[in-house]
Amino acid sequence: MRRAPGRGSLTGVGLVLAGTLSVQFGSAFAALLFPRAGALGTVALRIAFAAVLLLVVARPRLRGYARADWAVVCGFGLALGGMNSLFYQAIDRIPLGAAVTLEVLGPLLLSVVTSRRAASLLWAGLALAGVYLLGSDGFGSLNVAGVAFALGAGAMWAAYIVFNSRAGARFPRLDGLAIAMSVAALVTLPLGIGAAGATLLEPAVLGLGLAIAVVSSGVPYTLELLALRRLPAPTFAVLTCLAPAVAALAGFLVLGQGLTLPQCAAIAMVVAASAGAVRTGGR
């Protein structure tokens, strides 16, 4: 009986890592579609297909909710759509590893603010030092708009976390996520159609969009749900802090985006700061 939890925890760790790999490599492969569909067209396809998949799987109930519930889930959907749209605009301009490193500052700041502990300020300082190191080595060569989009995606990620938590308390199972993803699709589809037009209807583009939706949304959500049944939430949160490092690996392997040693050190500092902030923070 003592060995079963150990095996379960090890399996949970593997599921989290697999989910993180799926998300970041999905983002890398999405960037390959940008020349044909553009960043806005790609994100529109991803979110639209993800919404359809979630609606089929979750079959959310739409009746019996108050206006406050709908306000929360619509805010959730706007944060979800904004986060993905801004992030795809960022990786269209700057390397994937740098984009995720900047984006993760949003949840990190949220963790520091909500924890209200002195130790969290140290982790925030470490993260800022990492960003400074990343900037001193390469911000001059990074697209300014790409940096701004990545920081904006981080702010929307923090909002996504807040609304996700509130929607989870108001909607059962995956209902809140399915509805929010549908709201995000309604927001991003017009932008994607306006940017890419009829290109989105090409069979090859549709096929790639579906594959990206499955790899970036369907597979990770499933793996995360399975992992949370085997791991404590704090352990799960710490493991997800590896996202910048995995993104840098995906950018290198799929997109040929190399990193210098100072940039690698900067990413490692942000990962360590994120994990430390999660460990010392509250719920």
| CB atoms near residue 220 (< 10 Å) | 21
Structure tokens at 101: 């490193």
Band (pLDDT 50/70/90 cuts) for residue 4 is very low
Residues 6+ positions from 205 with CB-CB distance below 8 Å: 33, 36, 37, 41, 45, 199
Angle (CA) 60 229 269, round 5° = 105
pTM as predicted = 0.84
Which of the given ranges, 116-130, 134-148, 199-213, has the highest pLDDT on average? 199-213
pLDDT at 3 over 70: no
Report CA-CA distances (Å) from 123 to 113, 115, 251, 262, 275.
12, 12, 26, 19, 9
Band (pLDDT 50/70/90 cuts) for residue 116 is low
For the chain, the domains span: 9-280
Residue with the two structure tokens 């990786």: 91
Distance CA 136, CA 138 (A): 6
How much of the chain exceeds pLDDT 90, in percent? 35
220 or 87, which is more confident? 87
* 5-33 residue pLDDT tens: 455 567 878 888 898 899 999 999 999 99
Residue 36 backbone dihedrals phi, psi, to 5 degrees: -100, -45
* 150-162 residue pLDDT tens: 999 999 988 988 8
Distance CA 82, CA 43 (A): 10
Structure tokens at 215: 């790899």
